[in-house]
Amino acid sequence: MEKAVLNQAKSLKDYGIIYLSGPIENGVSENVCKEIIEFNLTDKVDHIQLIINSPGGSCPAGFAIIDIMGWSRLPVYTTGIGMIASMALLVFMTGHKGRRVITPRTSILSHRYSAMTWGNHSQLLAGRKEQDLEHQRIVDHYLCYSSIKTREELEINLLRDVDTWLTSDEAIRFGIADIIQPLSKP
């Protein structure tokens, strides 16, 4: 019996690791939120490590993850690899201050969000209100989780009319990330 226990492979969950990859949509968001809740219900780990490689996605789905990260009694450390873009960048930024790590080759994209709406005039007006509210949530998030202090500075540097691709060093300078993880050499 002891041999069987020793031979069991450990999973990412055993180490408190969640891997968020691909577009952030409702199903992905639901799974990440459930995993964060589950880690909070057990005493197996003292922190959660959220590894992110995502082009972004739905704002409501991303803000659901962000809200659960804020609710978590366990600190959530974030690591950006591959790409952290759009909503994935906002999720990454929410990580525990001092523990937001990126690799030197991570592609980092900050931009204004986009939306599609359709319907009659009344529906378009209602949709516009939600778009304005969503934009304000994004602005407030950047002002809370970066070193940028004003909306004007934010719109000049990160929420411009065009996509803003950042180097790892720029992410550190703007307070979006805390550490650039050095890569080992062969």
Catalytic residue, chosen from 110, 111, 146, 168, is 111
User: Residue 139, exposed/middle/buried by CB under 10 A (0-12, 13-18, 19+)?
Assistant: middle
- Answer whether 100's CB lies under 8 Å from 179's CB: yes
Q: Active site residue: 29, 86, 146, 168, which one?
A: 86
DSSP states along 138-154: HHHHHHHHSS--SHHHH
The two three-digit tokens of residue 137, written as one number = 């949530």
Active site residue 86: yes
Give the β-pairing of 17-21 and 164-166: unpaired
Annotation says 121 is catalytic: no
* CA torsion through residues 57, 180, 177, 20, sign: positive
Sequence-separated (6 or more) residues with CB below 8 Å from residue 163: 109, 110, 111
**Beta partners for 48?**
76
Which active-site residues does the annotation give? 86, 111
